[in-house]
Amino acid sequence: SQQGEEDPQALSIQEGENATMNCSYKTSINNLQWYRQNSGRGLVHLILIRSNEREKHSGRLRVTLDTSKKSSSLLITASRAADTASYFCATDQTGANNLFFGTGTRLTVIP
Amino acid sequence: NAGVTQTPKFQVLKTGQSMTLQCAQDMNHNSMYWYRQDPGMGLRLIYYSASEGTTDKGEVPNGYNVSRLNKREFSLRLESAAPSQTSVYFCASSVSRRSNQPQHFGDGTRLSIL
Summarised one tens digit per residue, pLDDT across range B54-79 is: 999 999 999 999 999 899 999 999 99
Q: Are B23 and B77 in contact (CB under 8 A)?
A: no
Residues 6+ apart with CB under 8 A from B62: none
pLDDT band at A1 (very low <50, low <70, confident <90, very high): low
Closest CA to B14 of B102, B83, B104: B83
Residues 15-74 of A with CB under 8 A from B: 30-31, 33, 40-45, 48, 50
Q: Which of A43, A92, A93 would best serve as a mutation to test chain B binding (most B beta carbons within 10 A)?
A: A43
| Interface-testing mutation among B103, B107, B109, B110, with chain A (most A C-beta atoms within 10 A) | B103
